[in-house]
Structure 1
Amino acid sequence: MPSIVGPIKINSVGGGVINFGDAFYLAPKSSSKTNAGSGALNTGDFINTNNGFSSTNPFDPDVNDQNVAGNA
């Protein structure tokens, strides 16, 4: 089916999948993990973030979160 795509703003693409319109199947070919505090990864034109104390615990007891297998 046809799709209508509205206004789009892409600042940068560092890998990944960008799809406009119809798609039958999209699958990631890589995975990663990022640890950041509150308000650290906000993006946009006008951001006002008021955080008191922010603490991030990067400890992860399970080693594998998202395995990429098959069709690599």
Structure 2
Amino acid sequence: MGVTVAVGLALATAQLARGQYVDEQIGMVTPAENDPDDVIDRTRLSDAGADFAARCEMYLRQFGTSTAGHEIAR
């Protein structure tokens, strides 16, 4: 859950500050995208329902293995 919350905070901060979202370490979006609204549009989950922890896991699983070489725990 921590990574998902951190990403959410970073995206919200970038939106509020009218700044850029930089994802150099995790590499979630390929090609890289700096506009927070575009990152949200590209990574938003399409379905609703499951509890918060399950949604966090679903969010991260859509990225598979990150460019940092860390596989998402199963």
Which category of TM-score, normalised to the shorter sequence, fits these structures?
under 0.3
TM-score (norm 1): 0.21
Higher helix share: 2
TM-score (norm 2): 0.20
